Amino acid sequence: MKKLICLLIAVCMVTSLAACGNQAQTEVEERIGIISAMDNEVALLLSEVEIDHVDTIGGVDFHVGTLHGQPVVIMRSGIGKVLAASAATAMLNNYPISKVIFTGIAGGVGDETQVLDQVIATRLVQHDCGTITNDGFVWSSGVAEEEMGEKDFYACDPELVDLAFEAAVQVVGKEHVFKGTIATGDQFVSSEEYVQKLQQDFDAIACEMEGASIAAVCTQYGLPFVVIRAMSDKADGNAHESIDNMGDLAADNSSRIVIQMMDAMRG
């Protein structure tokens, strides 16, 4: 009898631990996935969300709750394509996500964009994907055409793009909101010469380090997504100084657009 009691206690303990470990997987209500790379990009959102619980998966905290009436999962992925893709995959594997919004700061590439302007991505591309040859770097998308919404680019969901654009207009004014291509790479761009290359090769109007990797994951999972970026700098020789001075304000503006989107979804 004593052995039986001990066995039952052990089974209960294992079951309890398993339940804790699978807490994220028990979610049944569809939620909006909101992703940022850095603390300052997610700070305002976390101050506004009503948090139900926080799950830690792979070292990333997933804040599950309600943001202005919308069920959400909010997380900070870390900087760069690898961490962003890894965290996004964990989110989609553990929660019933209906759509994904990426919000944060970026460098302005287009001549028309200035610091604190907003860019709503219509499509994204990995600018650093390709082949190193004896003649230098040769770009290629690295993704089969049939897996893309448009050859060599990841197309954002048109309805989410329109929703984000209208929300951005409400937050910063129409003259400060642009739609276009965002180029993603694992480099912080601080070069006028490379800015011109991004313009010429991809018709990009902003550059950053996570968006296309999020787009790749969402495309594989068949989920609609949009990337919203506030310009913290012009990706030129003054980029580091500009992001130090304007980064937090730009990040908050981008978060306010997400909040405005949540309000608009309530009708």
- Smallest Cα–Cα separation from 258: which of 88, 120, 77? 120
Q: What is the pLDDT of residue 13?
A: 42
The pLDDT > 90 percentage for the chain reads 66
Q: What is the pLDDT of residue 101?
A: 98
Hey, what amino acid is at 141? S
Q: Is 136 exposed, middle or buried (0-12, 13-18, 19+ CB in 10 A)?
A: exposed
Hey, what amino acid is at 222? G
Q: What is the pLDDT of residue 129?
A: 84
- Look at residue 6 and tell me whether its pLDDT is greater than 80: no
DSSP 12: H
Average pLDDT over residues 103-125: 93
- Look at residue 51 and tell me whether its pLDDT is greater than 70: yes
List, in order, residues 6 or more apart from 231 with CB less than 8 Å away. Answer: 105, 106, 107, 108, 113, 114, 115, 116, 117, 118, 119, 206, 250
Q: What share of the chain is helix, strand, coil (3-state, %, to 5)?
A: 45, 30, 25
Average pLDDT over residues 128-156: 72
More confident residue, 41 or 131: 41
State both tokens at 59: 């070292």
Q: What is the pLDDT of residue 233?
A: 79
Of these ranges, 2-6, 144-148, 234-238, 256-260, the one predicted with the greatest mean pLDDT is: 256-260
Catalytic residues: 41, 233
| Residue 34 banded pLDDT, cuts 50, 70, 90 | very high
What is the C-alpha to C-alpha distance for residues 126 and 208, in angstroms, rounded to an integer?
A: 10
pTM of the model: 0.84
Q: What is the pLDDT of residue 27?
A: 57
Q: What rounded mean pLDDT belongs to the chain?
A: 86
Q: What is the pLDDT of residue 244?
A: 67
pLDDT digits (tens, 9 = 90+) for 147-196: 444 557 999 999 999 999 999 999 999 999 999 999 999 988 888 889 99
pLDDT digits (tens, 9 = 90+) for 86-104: 999 999 999 999 999 999 9
- Domains of the chain: residue spans and CATH: 29-265 (3.40.50.1580)
Average pLDDT over residues 64-92: 97
Q: What is the pLDDT of residue 242?
A: 63
Q: What is the pLDDT of residue 251?
A: 93
Range from 7-16, 119-128, 200-209, 226-235 carrying the lowest mean pLDDT: 7-16
Q: What is the pLDDT of residue 239?
A: 61
